[in-house]
A and B are shown apart, each in its own frame.
Chain A
């Protein structure tokens, strides 16, 4: 089961109100390569994983992704909460505003709502682990693009942290893939 710790994983800093930046950062909240997709993907794949290490890795990384989701939400929340309606309109965020005010919702940078089509749980552990490794690379790349467009060095600092985490997760999924392959060959299953 889950319990919640009332503390962010990383100290988030935001320099100033910036709805234009919030509009793009929100894609790592509700977008195809964002933290919600990552956490739900891993947390649902774990049920059908064959080895204890795989179940642990998917549970733990899935849980850490929830913490990252919280960080992205914190960024978005602090970038828009003091915005005037004029600033929101200038940022092109008024369509979001009329449906959500300044709350945090699951959309990508274009306002497309989150969908389970972003994730798969194929059941086949090799397929699932490859999807996860690809997901970590896509997330890393997305953070790089966000770093490119960010004009707030404090926000960029948090984006760098999140990007580095994806690199570590990729390594762990890769190691899990090795372990699952070992387990499969020890069972003498032919692929």
Chain B
């Protein structure tokens, strides 16, 4: 998932805070979400979250066989 922060970036410690400098080994980090504009309740319910930055639509793999009668376009949001 995109939230995993195992890339070279500036240390998240400014947001997460903590006692030591830089990144630690053998430890997982998730970038904390910052509060931004939220969807209307109607749109939020339809999308499954009120947070735009957490929307992750599912696009079925092209190699996957679809059940009979299913249109590919049904899954494109």
Contacts and interface: CB of A to CB of B under 8 A. Distances in A.
A147 B70 CA distance: 11
Contacts of B28: 130, 174, 177
Q: What secondary structure prevails in chain A residues at the interface with B?
A: helix
Interface string B12-29: 000011111000000111
A170 B31 CA distance: 12
Q: How large is the interface on A (under 10, 10 to 19, 20 to 34, 35 or more residues)?
A: 20 to 34
Interface residues of B, number: 33
B40 interface: no
Interface of A: 10, 130, 137, 143-144, 147-151, 153, 156, 160-165, 167-168, 170-171, 174-175, 177-178, 181-182, 185-186, 188
24 contacts: A130-B28, A143-B58, A144-B58, A147-B60, A147-B75, A149-B67, A151-B68, A151-B69, A156-B74, A160-B57, A164-B48, A164-B56, A167-B54, A167-B56, A168-B49, A170-B1, A174-B3, A177-B30, A178-B30, A181-B16, A181-B18, A182-B16, A186-B19, A188-B19
